[in-house]
Amino acid sequence: MKKRTQAIILAAGQSTRMITDLPKVLHEVCGRPMLAYVLDACRQAGIARMLVVVGYQKEKVLEAFPDEKGVQWVVQSRQSGTADAVKTCRKHLKDWRGNTMVLCGDAPLVRAETIKTLIATHEKESSAATLATAVLDDPTGYGRIIRDAYGNLEGIVEEVECTPQQREIREINPSYYCFDNQALFAALSKVKPSPKKKEYYLTDVLGVMVKQSRRLAAVTAVPPEDVLGINSRRQLAAVSEVMKFRILDRFMASGVTIVDPDNTWIDARAQIGQDTVIRPFTFIHGRVRIGKGCQIGPFAYLREGTVLADDVVLGVFTEVKNSQMGSGTRVRHLSYIGDSQLGRQVNIGAGAITANFDGEQVRQTIVGDNAFVGQGSVLVAPLKVKAKSQILPGAIVEAKGNCNGQKETKRK
């Protein structure tokens, strides 16, 4: 019978090597904090409860995830290593009789499929601890997997503790663990601080379990690209590049044409309908929804809150922020549409913009169906343009009373 699995996610670190005041797990990868990807992978693998260990600037982490379902936040007051971080969860898991997964919150490339494989292997082998490992051409920086002559897992040695012979091992530990929960916490109590760094390593749990004659297992299930760690801004960029292409591949597999993937950036949270074409140098950021059969770009910028119905065209150098557009609407050239609702079959001429900020408040513009907005026009919010209206090129359109009680102005 399969056991249920809960997860501990380690997210307490600062990352001094990144030279940052921001908690490491809040640095963004393709528009989202890296921790968000780990939480998503756990949920997709069927893990409903996650204990997230926070420490450095924990308030910022909690603020970034205000309503996260299935998450319990656990505070590690003093960062003394990964084993110490897991120990902080003891009181929440002391009676748990199932599996406990341990993952790092700064590993956004983790896949749900890898987690499922790890859990399945753990169940099949009936082991006290199971690892998902990877084989790298260059294992520098990672803990090495130690096996006996029969291939059985004996433990992990951190690189700083490796002998010259152990440094030649290419099978590494990317820190994906699945434990029998009771065996995990029994072994944690016997872990001693490392002689060099004086920290408590979770990897030392395996050595304790070997001495206790517990069964260990390992499965080589982590693709090399998923192992990429983030300890510098350069590594953050490298991981973001991998994630970017994963996102683009997902859209293309669902029927979206991306003309030039190398020069297109799409947020992980975006939704795009079938047969939409995304042209080069398009940037889509935030929770943007695009319907079917749309034409976007080149050089288009879509921001948070934008919703496009089917058959919308956004052309070269157009920017849209927090706005909705009905089917058949066209905004082809050099326009800014902010905080607006455009109906169906609206035509926005080249260079026309909505002026949505009056220096104090952001205000809304509403344009009815089949309206025509001439080239170079300025629509000053708050404003309602009736259906089928025609606004002359170069007009400045304001509602009555918009500006110190002045009447509606339309100037050519």
Tens of each residue's pLDDT in the chain, 412 residues: 457 999 999 999 888 889 999 999 999 999 999 999 999 999 999 999 999 999 999 999 999 999 899 999 999 988 889 999 999 999 999 999 999 999 999 999 999 999 999 999 999 999 999 999 999 999 998 889 999 888 888 888 888 889 999 999 999 999 999 999 999 999 999 999 887 778 898 989 998 998 999 999 999 999 999 999 898 999 999 999 999 999 999 999 999 999 999 999 999 999 999 999 999 999 999 999 999 999 999 999 999 999 999 999 999 999 999 999 999 999 999 999 999 999 999 999 999 999 999 889 999 999 999 999 999 999 999 999 999 999 999 999 998 755 433 334 444 3
Contact 303, 265 (CB under 8 A): no
- Domain of 142, CATH number, reads 3.90.550.10
Say if residue 377 is in the same domain as residue 292: yes
Q: Point out the domain boundary residue: 172, 202, 227.
A: 227
Say if residue 85 is in the same domain as residue 168: yes
Q: Is residue 116 part of a domain?
A: yes
> Which residue range forms the structural domain that includes residue 116?
5-227
Under DSSP, the state recorded for 367 is: E
Residues involved in catalysis: 333
Token pair listed for 208: 């304790």
Q: Is residue 405 part of a domain?
A: no
Q: Is residue 76 part of a domain?
A: yes
What is the number of structural domains in the chain? 2
Contact 346, 365 (CB under 8 A): no
Q: Is residue 412 part of a domain?
A: no
Distance CA 381, CA 353 (A): 11
Q: Is residue 55 part of a domain?
A: yes
Which residue's structure tokens are 């089928």? 388
- Domain of 373, CATH number, reads 2.160.10.10
Distance CA 345, CA 330 (A): 7
Q: Point out the domain boundary residue: 207, 227, 247.
A: 227
Q: Is residue 264 part of a domain?
A: yes
Say if residue 293 is in the same domain as residue 212: no
Under DSSP, the state recorded for 224 is: G
Say if residue 252 is in the same domain as residue 222: no
Alpha helices in 7-111 (DSSP H): 34-44, 58-64, 82-87, 90-93
Give the model's pLDDT for residue 2. Answer: 59
Contact 356, 362 (CB under 8 A): yes
Say if residue 40 is in the same domain as residue 115: yes
Token pair listed for 39: 């939480």
- At 42, is the secondary structure helix, strand, or coil? helix
Token pair listed for 11: 């997210």
Distance CA 262, CA 244 (A): 9
Say if residue 265 is in the same domain as residue 376: yes
Say if residue 175 is in the same domain as residue 35: yes
Token pair listed for 234: 């350069």
Contact 376, 393 (CB under 8 A): yes
Which residue's structure tokens are 């070269």? 316
C-alpha dist (Å) from residue 171 to 23, 55, 239:
30, 31, 21
Helix (H) or strand (E) segment spanning residue 245: helix 233-253
- Terminal CA-to-CA distance of the chain, rounded, Å? 77
Q: Is residue 262 part of a domain?
A: yes
Q: Is residue 63 part of a domain?
A: yes
Token pair listed for 281: 């140098």
Contact 403, 410 (CB under 8 A): no
